[in-house]
Amino acid sequence: NAGVTQTPKFRILKIGQSMTLQCAQDMNHNYMYWYRQDPGMGLKLIYYSVGAGITDKGEVPNGYNVSRSTTEDFPLRLELAAPSQTSVYFCASSYPSREAKLFFGSGTQLSVL
């Protein structure tokens, strides 16, 4: 059972480059999330989705875009990378329940230089 799979695990970008962080889950979860984790700041929600075709902004959406064309996939797009986007990115998914726990991927460590 793969759970939540994120690729790549590590990436170095130059300022102004673009890339897509991939996230896939095989648990048929409706809800999916993208968080970024910075030292001493905890996790900040970037975007989330409650189902295919539906996305919404979290706390820190600027500089990012998402799409949700299928239940399984929730890619995160960085269009013009900036040093402030250097972070560890986590994708997560859950059932549509207030009690539901989040299942996390293992993260993508991104450096923008």
Partner 1 sequence: AQSVTQLGSHVSVSEGALVLLRCNYSSSVPPYLFWYVQYPNQGLQLLLKYTTGATLVKGINGFEAEFKKSETSFHLTKPSAHMSDAAEYFCAVREDFGNEKLTFGTGTRLTIIP
Task: Provide the binding-site residues for partner 1, judged by CB under 8 A.
Answer: 4, 31, 33, 35, 40-45, 48, 50, 58, 90, 92, 96-99, 101-102, 104-107
Q: How far is the CB of 41 from partner 1 (least distance, A)?
A: 6
Structure tokens at 12: 């170095």
Q: How far is the CB of 35 from partner 1 (least distance, A)?
A: 8
**Residue 21: how many CB atoms within 10 A of its CB?**
23
Q: How far is the CB of 99 from partner 1 (least distance, A)?
A: 5
User: Could you tell me if 61 and 10 are in contact, meaning their C-beta atoms sit under 8 angstroms apart?
Assistant: no
Instruction: Return d(Cα 100, Cα 50) in angstroms, integer.
Output: 13
